[in-house]
Structure 1
Amino acid sequence: MKNISEERLVGERALFMVKDMSITNCIFADGESPLKESHNIKIEKTSFQWKYPLWYCSDIDVKDSTFFEMARAGIWYTDNIALKDVLYEAPKGFRRCRGIKLDNVNFLIADETLWSCCDISMHNVSAKGNYFAMNSRDIKIDGFNLAGNYSFDGCENVEVNNAKMISKDAFWNCNNVVVKNSYICGEYIGWNSQNITLENCVIESNQGFCYMKNVTLKNCKLLNTDLAFEYVSDIDAEVTSKIISVKNPISGRIKATGIEEIIFDDENIDKKATEIVVY
């Protein structure tokens, strides 16, 4: 494997179509698409300071490196890529990639990052930005901090464990999502989604869990949550806190330590189809 070390690389396509290469302690300065169409590349202690660094690539391993803000739209159409101990400042970080492994990665400007990707593994990842992971699928997450709205819109087959999320409109239009041991704060969580399970979670949401199908809450707290479960069918909710209000659920069972107000103001809803238990 050829090695490049301690080089400052400039100009468009500085290392275009390279294969079987190790890159260490290098700087990719101004110049678009420096590693476009490259394959089997190991990158360590290297910085990317300009746009489109890794497009149409495969088998990429990046460690202890930095993507600067101008490394925009940095990793697109790339398969089998791993980032470990990486500071990633640029927006639109991943698009239409598959086989992504992220370990101890900090996305400082995560707007429109991880779009339309699949087969994603994330461990100890933090992100700040809107529309994180839109239309992606087959995602497994353990250890995740997010500050950004509209996250995981349109996602499928998602497992999240040990997360803290400040995110309005999280998990909209999703199918097959499991969230465990996590905290989520944001309005309108989960709308238009189906097959959603939350376990051992704390959620704060205005009008949360509406227009959904097959929703399960196990040992969850719904703090400061009102107008919940509107037009939700097949709900099975075990809530270990007070709920401010529940409105027009379609069917299932809701059990909570307290519900301040139960609202049925749609004459088309059969009240008897939902069992509501306060204990």
Structure 2
Amino acid sequence: MKEIRQEYLTGERALFQGNNLKIYDTIFADGESPLKESHDIELFGSMFQWKYPLWYSKNILAENCTWLEMARAGVWYTDNITVKNAVIEAPKNFRRCHGLVLQKVDLPNAAETLWNCEGVVMEQVTAKGDYFAMNSRDMELHDFMLVGNYSFDGVKNAEIHNAKMLSKDAFWNSENVTVYDSFISGEYLGWNAKNLTLINCTIESLQGMCYIENLVMKNCRLIHTALAFEYSTVDAQIQGKIDSVLNPSGGIIRTDEIGELIIEKDKVDPAKTRIICQKDGKFEGCVCA
């Protein structure tokens, strides 16, 4: 492979259609699309300072690299890309990519990032920004931290481990998502989802887990979570107290205590939901309207 070392590249499409390159300690300064339509590129310790650096590219490795804020919309329509030990300040990164690996990546301005991607592996990634990972699919995340609302909207086939998420409206319209050993705080969690599973998770969510088809919760805790499970079919095992439950569509809820159970017979059939409080074996505080 040809090597490029410690260059300062300017102008539009500086390395257009580059291939079989190892690029070290190089700055891609002003000039759009410096590596557009490139393939088989390895980047080490390099920096992107301007827009659209990697579009329509294939087989990319970027290690110890930096995307500055104006390197926005940085990686679109690119297949088989691995990014390691990176700081990506630019928003709107990673769109319609296939085969994306992010390891030890910090995304402090991750607004509208990771949209419509497929085959995504993320390890030790930290992100801040709204609308993260919209409509992506086939995702596996480990040790993930997010501050940003409306995350994972429309995601399909995702597995998340050891996450901490401060995210209103997370997992809306999602399908086949399983979250393990995580903390999630944000209103309206999971609305309109299908096959959402939460295992060993702690949740804080006003009106969380509503309008869900096949919600499964195993060994979870709900702190300051009210009006949960409205119009959801649910199989839930909750440790501790649930502040209130409203109009579940069906299934079973096991918990230590429910502060208020509201079942409106004109909206749901009470017979379709079984509720068991572990302390006394039965919950009798049903408020029916």
Q: Do the two structures share a fold, i.e. TM-score over 0.5?
A: yes
Q: How many pairs does the alignment contain?
A: 278
How far residue 265 of structure 1 moved from its aligned partner, in angstroms, is 2.3
Q: Aligned partner of 1:244: which letter? A: D
Residue 38 of structure 1 aligns with which residue? 38
Per-residue CA deviation, residues 111-147 of structure 1 (Å, 9 max, x unaligned), is 0000000000000000000000000000000110000
Q: Which amino acid aligns with 1:257?
A: D
Q: Deviations over 1:83-109 (max 9, x none)?
A: 000000000011000000000000010
Aligned to 1:238: 237
| CA distance, structure 2, for counterparts of residue 218 and residue 23 of structure 1 | 48
1:247 aligns with 2:246: yes
1:10-159 aligned within 5 A: 10-159=10-159
Q: Find out whether 1:203 has 2:203 as its counterpart.
A: yes
Measured in 1, the distance between the counterparts of 2:8 and 2:82 equals 23
- Who is 1:262 aligned against? 261
Q: Where do 5+ consecutive residues of structure 2 fail to align?
A: 279-289
Question: What TM-score comes out, normalization by structure 1 length?
Answer: 0.99
User: Percent identity between the aligned chains?
Assistant: 55
Alignment map for 1:144-223 (pairs within 5 Å): 144-223=144-223
Is contact 2:247-2:267 (8 Å) kept? Answer: no
Write the deviation string for residues 201-223 of structure 1: whole angstroms up to 9, x where unpaired.
Answer: 00000000100111100000010
- The one-letter code matched in structure 1 to 2:36 is K
Measured after TM superposition, the shift of residue 77 of structure 1 is 0.3
State the alpha-carbon separation in 2 of the partners of residues 276 and 120 from structure 1: 38
* Offset of residue 110 of structure 1: 0.2
**TM-score, with structure 2 as normaliser:** 0.95
- Partner Cα separation in structure 1 for residue 74 and residue 96 of structure 2: 12
Distance change in 2, residues 1:68/1:266 (3 Å): farther
CA RMSD after TM alignment: 0.6
Runs of 4+ in 1 over 3 A off after TM superposition: none
Following superposition, the deviation at residue 266 of structure 1 comes to 4.7
Task: Report the 3-state secondary structure (helix = DSSP H, G, I; strand = E; otherwise coil) of the residue aligned with 1:225.
Answer: coil
Higher strand content, 1 or 2: 1
Distance (whole Å) between structure 1 residues aligned to residue 112 and residue 239 of structure 2: 35
